[in-house]
Amino acid sequence: MSLTLSFTDPLATDLARSGGKGASLAKAAQNLPVPGGFIVTADAYTHFIAPLQTRITELIGTDSPAEAIAELIRTTAIPEAWLTEFAEAATSAGLDGEAVAVRSSGTMEDLPGAAFAGQHDTYLGVRGIPAIAEAVRDCYASLWNEHAFRYRRQLGVDQLEARMAVVVQLMVAVGAEEAAGVAFSVDPVRGNTDEVLINAAFGLGETVVGGEEPVDEFRVRRDNGEQVAAEIAEKPTALVLRGDGTASTHLGEGQRTRPALTQEQTRAVAELAVEAENHFGFAQDIEWAIHDGHLYLLQSRPITRVAPRWTRDESAERFPTPVTPLTWDLVEAGFHHSLNHSFDLMGLPPFDDKWFVMRDFYIYGNQTAVDLYAGRLPTNMLSSVEAITESLPQIARQFGWVQELPVQWMRDLDTYLIGIGRLSNEPLEDKSLLEVWEHVIAISDLGTEYFRPNIAISLTQGTLYAALQRMLSLALDEEQAQVVFERLMASTETKTSQVNSELRVLADVVADDPELLAALEDNHGEAGVAVIEQFPEFAGEFEKFLAQHGHRELDFDAYHPTWVEAPHIVLDQIRLLAARTVKERAAASGRGEPSTESSAGGADDAGVTGQPAQSPASSGMERKIVQAETERAVVNAAPEQLRYLVQEVIRLARSYTALDDLEHYQTTRLTLPMRRALKELGSRLVDAGVLPEASDVYFIDFEHLDEAIRAADTGAAEAGAANADGGAGASAAGTSDRAAALSGLTEIAAKNKTAYQAAVDRTPEWEYGASTPAYDTDGDHITGTAGSPGTVEGEVFVVHSPADFSSFPDGAILVARTTNPAWTALFYQASGVITESGGALSHGAVTARELGLPAVMAIRDATSRFTSGQRVRVDGSTGTVTDLDSAVAAG
């Protein structure tokens, strides 16, 4: 067995062999100025402790295991053969007679959710093979440092699975007049992703890494290397190499307050940090050193914590309305679990902080984190036809999982659906309060496991879109590439489009029955649900539709009912679609055109520039024909060696579009069993005098609810035991303790409910804790994001919630915070769309493009800026909205 690997050995990049530091250095050594060295592999550690395994297992069960195990390792002799191999590795790396750094490199350092970096030991200024071997053994012992041992136990990691590789690297002999330190390719302290942050000091960089001595700080612009700011500290000492170790030396008065770096050096360090980011494909935290005029990279690791900037940019589309505390607590952990699983699939480092948080009942996204992870498509692979051709093996190796994920997801779907069925039918009446609560947790856990790959699906969809657009842009200008892209994606069948087709079939049934349509026109809302009982055939079809799709949500929050629980919302949409159908048939008949069996999609001819109304059947078939012809032309135009790749990217982009929609459809199945369980839980708390309404349980956060229910269960158990012993007084005391445990929930629920209701009536600030920037306006023009091409003028209608659906005027421009599949029927009534959030991949934009409706997304505060009846012009090609009323008044 080989104990060592050189930095340039391809095997050295494997984290399981080289640990976190070693694998990172081996990757960096391919293109960056890394001092020479070698890695003592994790396999060597396994071999070293194999004879000690039985004793280590025994010691783990003692009172002070970590210290005893570390001492056992330190007193174990180093095999003579190791010294020979270390000597050969040192000679090959050019380390003979040189001082080296011996650094621990644990194999668990880069695990998702773990932060082992810095918990193990490093030895500096080590000279000679015997001393190197002893330092390696001391690194092994540091794997069992008390704090590292406790941390593994806290994470639930098997202590014996932890392994240690060791990095042996040339010490850059930084003198007292030279500098070393750390640099971050983005500023994690202030959350500035357009600046490099540098910390520097005279002498060896351990002064900076240790964080115990004053250091200089420089901020440099990434794009041009300009120094933005500098804070120069008084630095009384410098750490330097001396003999077989290091020593602190005092600096002269003139040097203490002098910057450790010149402006030219500062620029060079910033460039190195950005080079490291480009090399690794992610923002990096590097250690660097300058010696004899040369700049060296000593370590590089991903940045996984940044100062957050909480905004609605990332969250407004997913979470447009306030969210109740319990719903958020039940889904948040699962979301972040899925996020890091997805990053791992995509070859990105885990994010060690919150991506989303609740603030005043609205969900805010960490915009700094979004900026940090955004745009990590390996664009260097797609920069030219030649680059793509050269990168084909790497693309196949790095992104093979993209082809496999849809198959794996479909395979695992059955397990989830079976779990939904079991939990939906599990009797709750005979369960104790705690058992009902644990049933709620079981539903949440099922959702967490199911949802694990789902963010990867959404992220991959966006990545595929970007890759396809980049490939098209190599042959076409930006505008042509976008047109071709939209044609390629024009006819992707989704679950939502299937459900919408079924809604339209029901609408056609109503349109064909004047008596039924008249009854629904006279009876809106819940009155309409009652009146369709007079039309049993339609009522049966409507009931069948709800049985299949009734789990669809009206709102993300489980606090709100689904379609099956609010059927009047669905019925009102069917009525609106039917009325539109009748109107369009009459219009077609008046023009002497044959009427269609299905109603028209899109807006009226007069309203939309270049968007004539067509029937969905004809327009859908035309889109399929255009899509097929466009794909054939694109593939044939590609170089022969790239045709398979181009066709596969097109196929996968469509596949992930459908899969992203399907996973959302299936995710919402959780809502029905969750609402059923929480209704039972809330009813129990109403019976106990804790809550006035069962639904108020949603306003209690998970931690308080869990603590109170478990305390109450303990009180109930004690009361039951006392009663069995005949102790009436003790039984009463136990019952009293149970009531006391639950009583605190009353105030929590009431307080949160009041605050939540206030949030419903409030437009949230776009950036939390900061004044909201003004709209991006130019006179009467408001700029958002282009969502769907075309231009339309008309009156807007602001839809705040599904309660406004039935009032939506035919042909109005829809204005909403965002939309979801439950809103789709409104698009058939609308002539254009404006939303506060979203982009080209949002539900609103995709649906608008399908129906030929101009759409502009990301107009902040649109629901409060515009009022129903106001006239505007929507230009979906440029992403602008013009206030026509103001323009007329000004004229």
pLDDT digits over 152-211, tens only? 777 777 777 788 999 999 989 999 999 999 999 999 988 889 999 999 999 998 888 877
Mean pLDDT lowest for which of 141-155, 297-311, 596-610? 596-610
Residues of the domain holding 102? 1-171
Tokens in use for 478? 């930006």
Q: Is the same domain home to 195 and 266?
A: yes
Number of domains within the chain: 3
Strands 4-6 and 37-40: what pairing? antiparallel
Q: Is the same domain home to 135 and 191?
A: no
- Band (pLDDT 50/70/90 cuts) for residue 116 is very low
Are the CB atoms for 168 and 100 separated by under 8 Å?
yes
Give Dmax over CA atoms of the chain in angstroms.
Answer: 100
* pLDDT (average), residues 655-680: 95
CATH of the domain at 83: 3.30.1490.20
Strands 356-359 and 781-783: what pairing? unpaired
- Band (pLDDT 50/70/90 cuts) for residue 411 is very high
Q: Please, what is the average pLDDT of the chain?
A: 87
Q: Is the same domain home to 136 and 31?
A: yes
Whether the pLDDT of residue 255 is over 80: the answer is yes
In a domain? residue 52: yes
Q: What is the pLDDT of residue 1?
A: 67
CATH of the domain at 819: 3.50.30.10
pLDDT in tens, 854-870: 999 888 888 888 999 99
- Band (pLDDT 50/70/90 cuts) for residue 590 is confident
- Band (pLDDT 50/70/90 cuts) for residue 440 is very high
* pLDDT (average), residues 127-143: 93
CA nearest neighbour of 212 among 191, 243, 239: 239
Give the contacts of 776 (CB within 8 A, at least 6 positions apart): 782, 783, 784
Q: Is the same domain home to 5 and 106?
A: yes
Are the CB atoms for 833 and 768 separated by under 8 Å?
no
Q: Is the same domain home to 182 and 164?
A: no
State whether residue 307 is helix, strand or coil: coil
Q: What is the pLDDT of residue 607?
A: 36
Q: Is the same domain home to 30 and 166?
A: yes
In a domain? residue 624: no
Whether the pLDDT of residue 4 is over 90: the answer is yes
Q: Output DSSP code: residue 437.
A: H
Q: What is the pLDDT of residue 516?
A: 96
Whether the pLDDT of residue 284 is over 60: the answer is yes
Mean pLDDT lowest for which of 89-93, 189-193, 491-495, 561-565? 491-495
* pLDDT (average), residues 848-853: 82
Q: What is the pLDDT of residue 2?
A: 84
Q: What is the pLDDT of residue 271?
A: 96
CA distance 567 to 587: 30
- Band (pLDDT 50/70/90 cuts) for residue 226 is very high
In a domain? residue 158: yes
Whether the pLDDT of residue 59 is over 50: the answer is yes
CA nearest neighbour of 12 among 2, 22, 21: 22
- Residue 294's Cβ-count burial label (10 Å; 0-12, 13-18, 19+) is exposed
In a domain? residue 301: yes
Q: Given strand 195-202, what is the order of strands in its sheet?
A: 227-231, 216-221, 195-202, 179-184, 284-291, 294-302
Whether the pLDDT of residue 712 is over 50: the answer is yes
Whether the pLDDT of residue 793 is over 70: the answer is yes
Q: Is the same domain home to 5 and 147?
A: yes
CATH of the domain at 223: 3.30.470.20
Q: Is the same domain home to 215 and 116?
A: no
Tokens in use for 13? 């990049």
CA distance 676 to 297: 58
Whether the pLDDT of residue 608 is over 70: the answer is no
Whether the pLDDT of residue 735 is over 90: the answer is no
Q: Is the same domain home to 198 and 161?
A: no
- Band (pLDDT 50/70/90 cuts) for residue 474 is confident
Q: What is the pLDDT of residue 297?
A: 95
Please give the residue that has the higher pLDDT: either 121 or 94: 94
What pTM was estimated for this model as a whole?
Answer: 0.81
Domain boundary among 306, 334, 356: 306
Domain boundary among 306, 332, 366: 306
Q: Is the same domain home to 806 and 838?
A: yes
Please give the residue that has the higher pLDDT: either 115 or 679: 679
Whether the pLDDT of residue 522 is over 80: the answer is yes
Q: Is the same domain home to 3 and 111?
A: yes
Whether the pLDDT of residue 727 is over 70: the answer is no
Q: What is the pLDDT of residue 630?
A: 92
Are the CB atoms for 570 and 337 separated by under 8 Å?
no
Q: What is the pLDDT of residue 115?
A: 44
* pLDDT (average), residues 255-272: 96
Q: What is the pLDDT of residue 500?
A: 87
Q: What is the pLDDT of residue 617?
A: 45
In a domain? residue 637: no
Domain boundary among 120, 141, 171: 171
Q: Output DSSP code: residue 802.
A: G
Tokens in use for 707? 């603590």
Q: What is the pLDDT of residue 443?
A: 97
Q: Is the same domain home to 71 and 178?
A: no
In a domain? residue 359: no
Tokens in use for 830? 């609308």
Q: What is the pLDDT of residue 245?
A: 78
Please give the residue that has the higher pLDDT: either 647 or 731: 647
C-alpha distance from residue 2 to each of 42, 85, 89 (Å):
11, 8, 11
Phi, psi (degrees; rounded to nearest 5) at 798: -85, 120
Share of the chain above pLDDT 70, in %: 90
Whether the pLDDT of residue 728 is over 60: the answer is no
Q: What is the pLDDT of residue 112?
A: 42
pLDDT in tens, 801-820: 888 887 888 889 999 988 87
In a domain? residue 36: yes
Whether the pLDDT of residue 669 is over 60: the answer is yes
Q: Given strand 4-6, what is the order of strands in its sheet?
A: 4-6, 37-40, 164-170, 100-106, 122-126
Mean pLDDT lowest for which of 43-52, 219-228, 320-329, 848-857? 848-857
In a domain? residue 220: yes
